[in-house]
Amino acid sequence: MRILNLVKIAFKAIVLNKMRTLLTMLGIIIGVASVIAMLAIGEGSKESIRTTISSMGSNMINIRPGEDTRGGVRQEASAMETLTLDDYYAIKEQADLLTYTTPMVNGSGQVINGSNNWPSTIYGVNPEYLNIKVLDLQSGSMFTDAEVKSASKVVLLGQTVVDNVFPDGTDPVGATIRFGNIPFKVIGVLSEKGENTFGQDQDDVVIAPYTTVQKRILAIDYLNQIMASAASEEQAPDAVTQVTEILRTQHKLADNEDDDFNVRSMEELISTFSSTSEMLTVLLVAVAGISLLIGGIGIMNIMYVSVKERTKEIGLRMAVGGKGSDILMQFLIEAILISVTGGVLGVALGLGATVFIENFLNWPTSVALYSIVVSFAVCAVTGIFFGWYPARKAASLDPITALRYE
């Protein structure tokens, strides 16, 4: 018998039992839809993480003091004084894989404007900080290198600080505020950025020259951190290696000595978050895949019922010359048709579910083509795997016994 005839026979058998076939497909439909939706959520989460972290500066490299033991007491990195301006100058002069570099010191305190005040953090940096952090100015201007050298008392404010110390909507540019007891002139306001991946408000900041914060607020001569930006995201790992070598030489560390500093790129952070997201996605897909397994078992059961109901038909076909291979193909094609049709409906339901999730639940989603291809492949394999044994049983029936079956 030709394949086309077998397909027609299988299709007719499916149409004659619409409700039973639909119920059989249900496991496949739900399984495929779940796999597509879960993978879309996983991919959307990874893209969202990468976008959010990239908005903080995808090429950004952080250099911080390392932990150490002094007098038998383990010191936190924040208490260490191993980073100096000499380190910053060495990195700036020798690291050719970096485009921007800034020293950083920071402290907490009250921002005061008249009777309004707000607790915030002041960051002491140089003008390259805006390029590293991918920050824009809403109004005003950034302080200059000359103002850094002279330790000028000028600041830029984040939008959260502006909203709380200038609640009447007054333009803060040109106004004088106090940070603690130190008066500062506001020369700019940063564009709003919102919360980052860690839930931290990126607009709750005060930015000033690092020399000003060092001398007038913190009274220190070391750095809390050095921030830099690699020439490109691809070069970030090499830039980390280069900075590490420069600082080991600068700190005169022997080969057997551990680093007294930490150098981290945003790529490591993206990789960590992405791997966590991937693990959760695999778990969700595994759970969704159980529906495909259940759907496959449903196909096997319904094919057994179909073989049972059509035993006489099978005997008649064999009696008029039908081969066992023809009977095998007939029932196998029927199982595959049920599985693939369920897959098509499952894809449609899965795509609809991702649209619903993104628009109504506000979860980031991204449908990957491979998720649809894999789902279809799994459907075909499910149809063949779970349909083969019932089809094989039908093909092995004895024609005379089948014709006598009641």
Q: Using CA atoms, how far apart are residues 147 and 135, in angstroms rounded to an integer?
A: 20
Q: Using CA atoms, how far apart are residues 65 and 225, in angstroms rounded to an integer?
A: 7
Q: Using CA atoms, how far apart are residues 201 and 185, in angstroms rounded to an integer?
A: 23
Each residue's pLDDT tens digit, 262-282: 998 876 666 666 666 677 767
Q: Which residue has the higher pLDDT, 80 or 353?
A: 353
Asked whether the predicted pLDDT for residue 72 surpasses 60, the reply is no
Q: Using CA atoms, how far apart are residues 245 and 229, in angstroms rounded to an integer?
A: 17
Q: Using CA atoms, how far apart are residues 154 and 342, in angstroms rounded to an integer?
A: 66
Does the pTM exceed 0.85?
A: no
Say how many CA atoms lie within 13 Å of 64 toward its Cβ: 12
Q: Which residue has the higher pLDDT, 53 or 130?
A: 130
Asked whether the predicted pLDDT for residue 104 surpasses 50, the reply is yes
Of 122, 131, 151, 125, nearest to 223 by C-alpha is 125
Q: Which residue has the higher pLDDT, 301 or 288?
A: 301
Q: Using CA atoms, how far apart are residues 313 and 241, in angstroms rounded to an integer?
A: 74
Q: How far is CA 23 from the centre of its chain?
A: 36
Of 107, 125, 113, nearest to 208 by C-alpha is 125
Largest separation between any pair of C-alpha atoms in the chain: 106
Residue 74: per-residue pLDDT? 46
Asked whether the predicted pLDDT for residue 2 surpasses 90, the reply is no
The mean-pLDDT minimum among 15-24, 226-235, 302-311 falls in: 302-311
End-to-end CA distance of the chain: 27
Average confidence (pLDDT) over 291-314: 73
Each residue's pLDDT tens digit, 161-188: 999 999 998 999 999 999 989 999 999 9
Each residue's pLDDT tens digit, 129-155: 999 988 899 999 999 999 999 999 999
Of 129, 125, 135, nearest to 158 by C-alpha is 135
CA-to-CA dists, residue 240 to 227, 233, 260, angstroms: 12, 11, 15
- SS3 track for the chain: CCHHHHHHHHHHHHHHCHHHHHHHHHHHHHHHHHHHHHHHHHHHHHHHHHHHHHHCCCCEEEEEECCEEECCEEECHHHCCCCCHHHHHHHHHHCCCEEEEEEEEEEEEEEEECCEEEEEEEEEECCCHHHHHCCCEEEECCCCHHHHHCCCCEEEECHHHHHHHCCCCCCCCCCEEEECCEEEEEEEEECCCCECCCCCECCCEEEEEHHHHHHHHHCCCCCCEEEEEECCCCCHHHHHHHHHHHHHHHCCCCCCCCCCEEEEEHHHHHHHHHHHHHHHHHHHHHHHHHHHHHHHHHHHHHHHHHHHHCHHHHHHHHHCCCCHHHHHHHHHHHHHHHHHHHHHHHHHHHHHHHHHHHHHCCCCCCCCHHHHHHHHHHHHHHHHHHHHHHHHHHHCCCHHHHHHCC
Question: Beta strands 116-125 and 205-209: pairing type?
Answer: parallel
The mean-pLDDT minimum among 162-166, 248-252, 341-345, 378-382 falls in: 378-382
